Amino acid sequence: MSRVWSVDLGGFVGQRVELAGWLHHQRRLAQVSFALVRDGRGMSQVVVTDPDVRAALASWAPETVLRVEGEVAAVPQAPAGLELHDPQFTVVSQPQGPLPFELRRPQLDVQLPTFLDHAALGWRHPHQRALGRVAAAAVWGFRSALEERKFVEIQTPKLVASATESGANVFPVDYFGRRAFLAQSPQFYKQTMVGVYERVYETATVFRAEPHDTGRHLAEYFSLDAELGFISDHREVMDLVGEVLAAMFAAGVERAAAAVDELDLKVPKVPAKIPSIDFMAAQELLENETGEKVVGESDLAPAHERFLGKWAEREFASDLLFVVGYPMVKRPFYTHPDPDRPEFSNSFDLLFRGLEIVTGGQRLHRYQDYLEALEGQDVAPFQSYLQAFRYGMPPHGGFAMGLERLVARLAGASNVRQVTLFPRDLNRLEP
RNA sequence: GGCCCCGUGGUGUAGCUGGCCUAACACGCCACCCUGUCAAGGUGGAGAUCGGCGGUUCGAAUCCGCUCGGGGUCGCCA
């Protein structure tokens, strides 16, 4: 008898099938016991009336791995209208000792460190695993939106010779006796590959050795990157971001419908045109509304971004807001300036519910411009990168999106580590 | 890294103006009861010396110092 997924029981009413999974919970009454068997996709209720089987069931701890053969019955009072009758259990394996916390409650009521210490168990909670499904669906949406638009998926090195992002700190590694770094971003390579395919994307882990112990930083995070050529300016990239994001949310709703339901997520609608505000205008707005002196500062503080997030919600009923035209001094050297006001850039950030989840913009594309941008610093580390421009590159731009931040905002999680499988941060290298 | 806060049975918390704490509550665990439960319910029971070290005191979970661990926030960023 082949094994059936819990979510597919509806197709087998009246038949005997085998389920396999984990004993999620059991409720013992005087004459009957209910076993909830959880598999990778869902959960099924198994009804046990045989005294011997009930006694056996009673002796099994939560998370015991089981195979259950039984008859599928459609019963109105069953949780999903379906349950398994006359079961025969086989114990596959048993947990060692008591569990550090319970999975049965609708909410996993543990502190983040406790959860993270026992991630192998915590991720089994229906709520938690639903987060993972939403993340997976979002990545799928990202890929499919870009594939549809003729982007080519690429894989770039994660062991690199030089840093890409200006301020970001790198992890040094011993590379056969030489000094190398873990890649902070596929930036250089994706730009280079625009010279080949025009449109490329990558979904991959990147590494940042920044000592930022905050709810939005990870030492290792999943970056969704895209880059495209022959653009007029950054606004074309922003349009793409909107389309991709819409596809990602749609994929969440469609491909992870049960998870979205489980988490009761409010998935935002992405407007045809995501509202945007100029960097300077944002500062003036902040100054007018809060009285705080911010005009002239070269960047927005997290508190400012939260304020702008609320403002966008009020003003446009939007969860999303572009902030456009950051000062050049705060952007990496490859950023393209605004032709009309060269101290500002053709770049943007996207705030999702007040948190920066995307950065993007137009890049320089002329070799000479790069030499000028790098003036005053050693060009040697960038020689291999600059090849692409020496051989001719079109105007291009792109963006990078932090998956964990997106999912965290979507789920209303205050800390990205809540939605990261095995987060790496300042203090945590395990599990 | 700076600043603020926290550290109590397996989990989440209360107690923390020092003695009534031989540490409380909820969940979990163990035993028994309850004819369909679904955050099931009921009765009883086991389980922590209060992160660690040192100090103040007749007396400390409660005050002080150091230390370790954690959370928030800021710098920075996805």
Split into its structural domains, chain A has a count of 2
Chain A window 226-285: residues with CB closer than 7 Å to nucleic chain B are none
pLDDT of residue A294: 83
Whether A89 and A134 map to the same domain: the answer is no
Residue A147 lies in a domain: yes
- The CATH number that applies at residue A406 is 3.30.930.10
- Is A55 within 7 A of strand B by CB distance? no
Mean predicted confidence (pLDDT) in A302-320: 92
Interatomic distance A100 CA / B59 C1' (Å)? 36
Whether A275 and A343 map to the same domain: the answer is yes
Residue A86 lies in a domain: yes
- The CATH number that applies at residue A39 is 2.40.50.140
Whether A162 and A287 map to the same domain: the answer is yes
Residue A114 lies in a domain: no
C1' nearest to CA of A350: which nucleotide? Answer: B78
Whether A294 and A370 map to the same domain: the answer is yes
Interatomic distance A115 CA / B63 C1' (Å)? 33
Whether A369 and A250 map to the same domain: the answer is yes
Taking a C-beta distance cutoff of 8 angstroms, is the pair A59, A101 a contact? no
- Is A78 within 7 A of strand B by CB distance? yes
Mean predicted confidence (pLDDT) in A383-403: 94
CB atoms within 10 A of CB A64: 21
Whether A239 and A352 map to the same domain: the answer is yes
Whether A138 and A230 map to the same domain: the answer is yes
Whether A55 and A163 map to the same domain: the answer is no
Q: Which one is predicted more confidently, A145 or A299? A: A145
Most confident listed range (A71-75, A124-128, A139-143): A139-143
pLDDT of residue A158: 93
pLDDT 10s digits, A191-236 = 999 999 999 999 999 998 877 778 888 889 999 999 999 999 999 9
Please give the ipTM for the structure prediction: 0.86
Q: Which one is predicted more confidently, A80 or A135? A: A135
Taking a C-beta distance cutoff of 8 angstroms, is the pair A24, A16 a contact? no
Chain A window 120-139: residues with CB closer than 7 Å to nucleic chain B are none
Whether A159 and A73 map to the same domain: the answer is no
**Strand partners of residue A324:** A278, A348
- Preceding peptide of A339 cis, ω within 30°: no
Nucleic acid strand B: bases within 7 A of protein CB: 1-2, 10-13, 27-30, 33-41, 69-78
- Is A147 within 7 A of strand B by CB distance? no
Whether A56 and A169 map to the same domain: the answer is no
C1' nearest to CA of A404: which nucleotide? Answer: B78
Residue A103 lies in a domain: no
CA angle at A215 for the pair A210 and A219, rounded to the nearest 5°: 30
Parent domain of A14: 6-93
At which residue do the structure tokens 């922003």 appear? A238
Residue A294 lies in a domain: yes
Chain A window 7-26: residues with CB closer than 7 Å to nucleic chain B are 25
Residue A101 lies in a domain: no
Residue that finishes a domain, picked among A93, A110, A136: A93
Whether A389 and A322 map to the same domain: the answer is yes
pLDDT of residue A168: 56
- Is A109 within 7 A of strand B by CB distance? yes
Measured between alpha carbons, how far is residue A390 from residues A183, A210, A275, A279, A326 in Å?
A: 23, 32, 37, 32, 27
- Is A60 within 7 A of strand B by CB distance? no
pLDDT of residue A375: 85
Residue that finishes a domain, picked among A70, A93, A116: A93
Residue A429 lies in a domain: no
Mean predicted confidence (pLDDT) in A300-309: 90
Whether A57 and A149 map to the same domain: the answer is no
Residue A431 lies in a domain: no
pLDDT above 60 (res A256): yes
